[in-house]
Amino acid sequence: MHELCSFMAKENLKQKAIELRKIGKTYSEIMQEVPVVKSTISLWLKEIGLSVPQKQRITEKRRVAQRRGADAKRNIRIAKQTDLMTKAYHEIGPLSKRELWLMGIALYWAEGAKEKEERPGSRASFSNSDPRMIAIFIKWLKECAKVPDEDISADLYIHESHKEKVKEIFAKWGSILKQPPSFFRHVYLKKNKINTKRKNTGVLYIGLLRVNIRASSDLNRKIAGWISGITDYWGIV
């Protein structure tokens, strides 16, 4: 008698699951009303066909669930990223003039033009597409290297496909760096093919800026000496 009752109860659950499926319910929705595992639901319903609208409804619900899951993961990632960056920001604290001096040397070591044996007397110049890095380097030139304003200028390198936006790009650089139009001297057009995978295109594109320092071969040599001092201090050959 007990086995018969158990069988009937299971059959009732199966019929309820089938009825719910026929009106277009998803497996998840059915399992909320029919307390069995998903494998059992799948077995019961494998022969049950769905109309086109029902299939479309289920597909849309899956898409919504996927978007909801993706949004949740994105929000978690953004919250974690914000927390990490905020903590890192506050770890910097006040910076001394010596620290600015060392930062400028390191920046030049990475992105500055070095004197070549075949080109003795090369002047110092610094190139980058990040306005913040350019701004810090100019600050370093003025405050640490004691280079006067009139000896600092910049050239712009942009892809020729953006040549109609030269004035607009100059205005963006000038606004960020707080420099007058006279600060910018020449524009050089690059003709190589643009990498379509890059994100800094369209309205975000501002090209690359090269900061030039007039009569700066001695400064270039001093920077080389400072770099050697740093490497020797840490025992780097």
Mean predicted lDDT score pLDDT of the chain: 88
**Torsion-angle region of residue 124: left (phi > 0), alpha (psi -120 to 50) or beta?**
beta
Confidence check: pLDDT of 200 > 80: no
Listed range (68-72, 75-79, 81-85, 131-135) with the worst mean pLDDT: 68-72
What pLDDT is attached to residue 29?
Answer: 85
Query: How do strand 125-128 and strand 208-213 relate by DSSP bridges?
Result: antiparallel
CA dist 84 to 26, 75, 79, 89, 93, Å?
A: 40, 14, 9, 9, 16
What is the percent of the chain where pLDDT is above 70? 92
Query: How do strand 208-213 and strand 152-159 relate by DSSP bridges?
Result: antiparallel
* pLDDT tens digits along 50-76: 777 777 888 888 888 889 889 999 999
With H, G, I as helix, E, B as strand and everything else as coil, classify residue 119. Answer: strand
What pLDDT is attached to residue 2?
Answer: 60
Query: What number of other Cβ atoms are within 10 A of residue 5's Cβ?
Result: 9
* pLDDT tens digits along 94-104: 999 999 999 99
What pLDDT is attached to residue 232?
Answer: 95
- Residue 192, token pair as written in the block: 């190589």
* pLDDT tens digits along 4-29: 567 677 888 888 888 888 888 888 88
Tell me how far the alpha carbon of residue 149 is from its chain's centroid.
Answer: 33
Residues contacting 132, CB < 8 A, separation 6+: none
How far is Cα 21 from Cα 47, in angstroms, rounded to an integer?
11
* pLDDT tens digits along 183-192: 999 999 988 6
